[in-house]
A and B are shown apart, each in its own frame.
Chain A
């Protein structure tokens, strides 16, 4: 069964304290691995798409990496405005149309 698991469920950091969020996936053929950010009361906001093992993408303090079984979202020197829930999702290679399998998310709190 295709599955996406994120850890930890919650993470508290001090401003400037770097860390990583983990996303493990078991998908028999990966078309794409997505990272989204969700703020309270809002819909998820797209961050990155990764397609193949070894690929990396960066945006400001965030860097996403992909292996054959996991993806990591590295947060360097976080600021309080980085506080949000980060969602990982996988899309099956042979999926007709678009149907993402989401993890349950990691809720990040950054305090100053």
Chain B
């Protein structure tokens, strides 16, 4: 069973540019979440999508956006890049069982490492 696939794995951008990262979830998983990981702040929640709708959003500026397609694949976009956006961006998918109140286990991809110069 294929895991969560993120592309690209590494990229370098300059300040002011924009970037789009892609995530393919595990087959059958309809929830996709994005997290930013930095040495100083650790993992911080960006947003979650379920059935093409943003269900949850973290405390990040509007430069960070995302979307989910009908096949559950997701993209996130960061516009007007700043030096502080350099980080590992992690995508995770989960199998959401309708009507269940239990916590959903996230399966993470290997991440996209963004360096902003």
Residues of A within 8 A of B (CB): 31-32, 34, 36, 41-46, 49, 51, 87, 89, 91, 95-105
* Chain B residues whose CB sits within 8 angstroms of the CB of A42 once the complex forms: 110-111
Q: Mark B51-80 against chain A: 1 for CB-CB distance below 8 A, else 0.
A: 000011010000000000000000000000
Task: From known contacts A44-B108, A51-B102, A91-B103, infer whether A98 and B56 are also in contact, taking CB-CB under 8 Å.
Answer: yes
Question: Which of B42, B45, B111 contacts A105 (CB under 8 A)?
Answer: B42
Asked if B42 and A32 make an inter-chain contact with CB atoms under 8 angstroms apart, the answer reads no
Q: Mark B24-52 against chain A: 1 for CB-CB distance below 8 A, else 0.
A: 00000001010100000111110010100
The binding surface of chain B is classed by DSSP as strand
Distance of A43 Cα from B91 Cα, bound (Å): 9
* Chain A residues whose CB sits within 8 angstroms of the CB of B55 once the complex forms: 96-98
* Chain A residues whose CB sits within 8 angstroms of the CB of B103 once the complex forms: 31-32, 34, 49, 51, 91, 98
Give the tally of cross-chain contacts (CB within 8 A): 72
User: How many residues does chain B have at the interface if contact means C-beta atoms less than 8 Å apart?
Assistant: 29
Residues of B within 8 A of A (CB): 4, 31, 33, 35, 41-45, 48, 50, 55-56, 58, 90, 92, 94, 96, 101-111
* Chain A residues whose CB sits within 8 angstroms of the CB of B35 once the complex forms: 100, 102
Asked if B56 and A102 make an inter-chain contact with CB atoms under 8 angstroms apart, the answer reads no
Distance of A101 Cα from B92 Cα, bound (Å): 14
Distance of A43 Cα from B43 Cα, bound (Å): 11
Asked if B42 and A99 make an inter-chain contact with CB atoms under 8 angstroms apart, the answer reads no
Q: Which residue of A lies closest to B107 (CB)?
A: A46
Asked if A46 and B45 make an inter-chain contact with CB atoms under 8 angstroms apart, the answer reads no
Identify 5 new A-B residue pairs, CB closer than 8 A, beyond the known A46-B105, A89-B43, A98-B94: A97-B55, A98-B31, A98-B96, A99-B48, A105-B42
Distance of A67 Cα from B34 Cα, bound (Å): 29
Asked if A102 and B44 make an inter-chain contact with CB atoms under 8 angstroms apart, the answer reads yes
